[in-house]
A = this chain, B = another copy of it.
C-alpha cells in the first residue's frame, strides 16, 4: 500500500537519489531543481478515466495539464520547500523521501494559491509574465488552480506512515497551514472588498501572520521536524512567525520599489489597493485632508488610477517615513525571529544542515523570494 521510498541512511535529500548514500550533497541549486521537477511530475499525474476520447477532447485535456505547469515552470526560488528539506535534515531525518514529498506539496500549494491570488487581486503579472487569468480568462484559470490543489493532495497521500515520520502530525500541520493562509487571505480580501482603509498596524500584523508567516516559515520548519519524528518546541512558533512577518513586510516594501527584475508591476499593491504596514503608518500620520485625498486615490477602481497619482501616494510614503518605519519593523522582527530560531537550531543533531536553515532564513527575512 505504501509508496514511501526505501529506508536510507544519510542519503542526499532527493526522491530520485534516496537510498544512494553519499551520492552527492545537495546544494541549494540542485535541491531547488529536484523540488521543481517533483512539482512538475506531480502535476503530470492527471488521471482521467480511460475511456476513448475524441482527438479534440484529448488535445484540450492536454492543454489543461499544460496550464497547470505554467506557474511552476516560471522562475521561482522554492525557498519554502528548501527550508523544509533542510529542517528535516537538521532534525536528523535519515531519509529525505518524506521531506521531498512535503517540499513538493508546499511548492504545489504556493503555485496553485498564486493562480487564485492573482484572480482575487486581479494582478497583471506573475514572475515577469502575464498572470494566468489574463492569458486564459478567470473561469479556466480558477479551475486550473483547483486541479493543482487536488494534485497537491495526491502528492501528500504518498507520505509514508511509518517511523520516524509522524504522518498524522505532518498532515495536521499542513492542513492548519492551508487554513491559516486562507483565513489571512480572507481578512485581506474582505478589507479591500469593504473599502476599509482604516486598518491598524495591529490588524495588519495579524493578517500577515495568518496569510504569510505560517506557510512561509512556521510550517516548513515544523514539517521538517515531523519528518524526523521530532516535536518542535512551542517557542519555535512565535520566532518563525516573526520571520514570516518580516518577510511579508519586506515584500511589501520591495513591491513599492523601482521594480527592476522583480517581475511584478511597479507599485502593484497601490493599484490593487492592498493594505500594508506602510499604508497603515501613512494614514495614521496624515492630516485629515491629506488622508481623505490618499484614500480617495486608492479607493478608485484599478483602471481609473494613474501613474502620477500612485507616485503621489508613494512620495508621501517616503516623506512621512512610512517606508522607513516598515523597514525598521521588519528588521526588528527579523532579528528577534532569527534569535529564537537559532536557539532551536543550536540543539538539533545535524549542525551542518542547521546552518543551511539559518542561511535560508537570513536570506528570506532580508529580501523577497
Q: Is the interface of A mostly helix, strand, loop or mixed?
A: helix
Known: A53-B206, A153-B175. 10 other contacts (CB 8 A): A1-B168, A47-B179, A54-B203, A143-B182, A144-B186, A147-B183, A147-B186, A150-B178, A157-B172, A161-B161
Please give the distance in Å from A166's CB to the nearest CB on chain B: 9
A157→B48 CA distance, assembly (Å): 23
- Tally chain A residues at the interface, Cβ within 8 Å: 64
Q: Is A187 an interface residue (CB 8 A)?
A: yes
Q: Which residues of B sit under 8 angstroms from A179, Cβ to Cβ?
A: 46-48, 147, 150-151
The answer, among B57, B116, B119, B218, for a CB contact under 8 Å with A206, is B57
Q: Is A101 an interface residue (CB 8 A)?
A: no
A46→B186 CA distance, assembly (Å): 13
B143/A237 in contact, CB under 8 A: no
> Which residue from chain B places its CB closest to the CB of A53 in the assembled complex?
B206
Knowing A63-B190, A203-B56, A214-B49 are in contact, say whether A150-B175 is a contact too (CB < 8 A).
yes
Knowing A146-B116, A175-B153, A175-B157 are in contact, say whether A51-B209 is a contact too (CB < 8 A).
yes
B153/A139 in contact, CB under 8 A: no
A57→B207 CA distance, assembly (Å): 8
> Which residue from chain B places its CB closest to the CB of A63 in the assembled complex?
B190
A139/B192 in contact, CB under 8 A: yes
A153/B151 in contact, CB under 8 A: no
Considering the complex of A and B, which 8 residue pairs feature the smallest CB-CB distances, nearest first? Answer: A120-B139, A147-B182, A64-B186, A139-B189, A150-B178, A1-B168, A154-B175, A57-B206
Most B CB within 10 A of own CB, among A54, A171, A189, A237: A189
Please give the distance in Å from A275's CB to the nearest CB on chain B: 12
A172→B119 CA distance, assembly (Å): 30
Please give the distance in Å from A102's CB to the nearest CB on chain B: 15
Q: Which residues of B sit under 8 angstroms from A57, Cβ to Cβ?
A: 187, 203, 206-207
Q: Which residues of B sit under 8 angstroms from A249, Cβ to Cβ?
A: none
Listed by A's residue number, 29 A-B pairs whose Cβ atoms lie within 8 Å are A46-B183, A47-B175, A48-B180, A48-B210, A49-B180, A49-B209, A49-B237, A51-B241, A54-B203, A56-B203, A60-B190, A64-B186, A120-B138, A120-B139, A136-B193, A140-B189, A140-B190, A142-B142, A143-B189, A146-B182, A147-B179, A147-B182, A150-B178, A150-B182, A151-B179, A153-B153, A154-B175, A157-B172, A157-B175
Q: Is A231 an interface residue (CB 8 A)?
A: no
> Which residue from chain B places its CB closest to the CB of A237 in the assembled complex?
B49
Q: Is A124 an interface residue (CB 8 A)?
A: no
A183/B64 in contact, CB under 8 A: yes
B60/A176 in contact, CB under 8 A: no
A137/B193 in contact, CB under 8 A: yes
A63→B193 CA distance, assembly (Å): 14
Most B CB within 10 A of own CB, among A139, A147, A154: A139
Q: Is A121 an interface residue (CB 8 A)?
A: yes
Q: Is A315 an interface residue (CB 8 A)?
A: no
Q: Is A325 an interface residue (CB 8 A)?
A: no
Please give the distance in Å from A181's CB to the nearest CB on chain B: 9
